[in-house]
Amino acid sequence: MGSSAGTLITPAQEAQYGAMYLRELRRYGWVLDDPLLDGWLNSLGFELASVTENSGSDYTFFMIRSRQVNAFATLGGYIGMNAGLVLTAESEDEVAAVLAHEIAHVTQRHIVRSVEAAQKDQIPILLGMLAGAIAAQSAGSADGAQAAIASGMSLMMQRQINHTRAAEQEADRLGIQTLARAGYDPDAMAGFFGRMGRISRAGGGEGGVPEFLRTHPVTTNRISEARDRAQRMRQDPPRDFSSRRAGHSHPLLPAGLALDRDVLGGPRQSHRFDLARERLRVLTAPSPPQAVDEYRRIGERSPDGLSDAQRYGYALARIRHGQAQAAVTELQSLIERHPTDHWLTLALAEAQHQAGDHATAVETYESLHRSMPNNLAVALSYAQALNETGTREAGVRAQTLLRPIARSSAADFSYQRILARASELAGDDIRAAEAHAEVAFLNGRAEDALNQLRGLQQRNDLDYVQRARIDARITEVTPIVLEMQRQGIGPDGRRRSDPRG
């Protein structure tokens, strides 16, 4: 704190460049857009962010479709976490520890401060170098390019902060404080760092080093310091926030007054992290057959067979592998044990739909929708199932489901994609065209989106509300396109120097 980093780039510019970075990642297929996982990650991230000293900062948490163990923070409060980190973590506390560390990088503006210290000219130059590296890699094989993008993009941003000992120490210190304030185990950070070090030593050589350690260098002293801080935190716990296990105290409430967990959306279920981890295992598997085989191997290795969470993952894998009826049976058994878990019930509805029992699937979806009317995951899954029936009536019903959450989900890629198809089925071609433009924008093709909106603007059958909405969106997108043009990025999202562009 106390640096002149604010003169290098404004918070608004940070948010703009962070959003561009996220859209660039999505364009290359690295963002895992899943409403259930996004909801879990955001719930965890914002709970931690709410107890930081700078809780007014904006954050965007997102999952990366990679089994490499890594996490990173970039401009504007954009924090990415690789699926591999969650798969490797042994508890939600360990995931929270990594998120708390990255949140500290954001609150202390370590990226901008490190650029300032290195006397870089402008943040856009840094991002231009990043985009240039992507373009150069994309000229090679698709697999090689994607691998380079996954590691290279996060590395270039992280190297601005992570190899500065002072920044890492500060992030560790504030992260452990945040963990304790939110009621998580303050030892989780040192525990996770230590386990990563053991994995590295067991792997042997550079190829065995987890990506997390390449972007977050860990030494024995650093682990010891983290353990010492955690020990001091336990001996003198923060008094301004109560433990999550004893209720949640909000910083804006008077001392001693806590909100019950039911008010905040119910108690955290003990197996939510386990379900999220298994869902990630399925969604990041190379193929559905390989996901099914992975669970078979897990079951063979365990003397007790698959846990309930692993059975959920196995059912998801079987749905994707065309074994939906077997998944229905598995999920019905799980729901008997966990009758209030909507993740399981939602998976059951999807399995029923894929098995061809559409009437029963609709009943299950309608029951979920009545109990959780504004839940994004329920609305999107139900609307997707309706879209797959392909009738006008289904499209109209899907639009009805999606309309109440339009404002809160405007920047959600899955929402816009499903809304576009629902609107097409319903015969609402104007709304479908708007949604298709948003899909292009969120997928890193801002100029393409602007061209679509301008074409839509020329229609003579727009009513006043439609025209005002389209005009407003053109006004918002135009400065972003101009900035991308200044950086040499074309309508398809590629830099104009790209030989394939």
User: pLDDT tens digit string along 342-365?
Assistant: 999 999 999 999 999 999 999 999
Same domain, 175 and 323: no
Q: How confident is the model at residue 483 (pLDDT cuts 50, 70, 90)?
A: confident
Helices 11-27 and 123-138: angle between axes, nearest 10 degrees: 10
Same domain, 92 and 172: yes
**105: its two tokens:** 């990088």
Using the 3D structure, point to which of 372, 396, 411 is the last residue of a domain: 372
Residue 465 counted as domain residue: no
184 touches 96 (CB < 8 A): yes
Nearest CA to 330 among 353, 358, 306?
A: 306
Same domain, 220 and 334: no
79 membership: H or E segment, kind and range: strand 78-82
Question: Residue 103 belongs to what domain range?
Answer: 5-235
pLDDT tops 80 at residue 245: no
Same domain, 192 and 82: yes
Same domain, 228 and 100: yes
Same domain, 306 and 199: no
Residue 461 counted as domain residue: no
Q: How confident is the model at residue 8 (pLDDT cuts 50, 70, 90)?
A: low
Residue 258 counted as domain residue: no
Residue of 38, 102, 330, 498 marked active site: 102
How does pLDDT run across 308-342, given as a tens digit for each residue?
999 999 999 999 999 999 999 999 999 999 999 99
Q: Per mean pLDDT, which range of 8-17, 164-173, 243-252 is the poorest? A: 243-252
Q: How far apart are CA 390 and CA 398, in angstroms?
A: 11
Residue 183 counted as domain residue: yes
Q: Which residues are annotated as a binding site?
A: 101, 105, 168
Same domain, 183 and 313: no
Predicted pLDDT of residue 437: 98
Residue 114 counted as domain residue: yes
pTM greater than the 0.85 cutoff:
no
Residue 256 counted as domain residue: no
Residue 497 counted as domain residue: no
pLDDT tops 50 at residue 429: yes
CATH value at residue 289? 1.25.40
Q: Which residues are annotated as a binding site for Zn(2+)?
A: 101, 105, 168
Half-sphere exposure of 441 (CA within 13 A, CB side): 24
| Alpha helices, DSSP H, located in 207-323 | 211-215, 220-235, 272-283, 288-301, 308-320
314 touches 282 (CB < 8 A): no
> Which amino acid belongs to residue 272?
R
Distance between alpha carbon 178 and the CA centroid of its chain, in Å?
A: 20
Using the 3D structure, point to which of 318, 342, 372 is the last residue of a domain: 372
How many folded domains does the chain comprise? 2
Residue 289 counted as domain residue: yes
102 is annotated as an active-site residue: yes
172 is annotated as an active-site residue: yes
Same domain, 204 and 313: no
Residue of 14, 34, 38, 172 marked active site: 172
CB-count exposure of residue 10 (10 Å: 0-12, 13-18, 19+): exposed
CB proximity list for 374: less than 8 A, separation 6 or greater: 404, 405
pLDDT tops 80 at residue 179: yes
Q: How far apart are CA 125 and CA 127, in angstroms?
A: 5
Same domain, 31 and 128: yes
Same domain, 226 and 305: no
Same domain, 151 and 289: no
Using the 3D structure, point to which of 202, 235, 268 is the last residue of a domain: 235
Q: For tokens 């191997």, what's the residue? A: 297
| Alpha helices, DSSP H, located in 118-187 | 123-138, 142-158, 165-182
Same domain, 89 and 159: yes
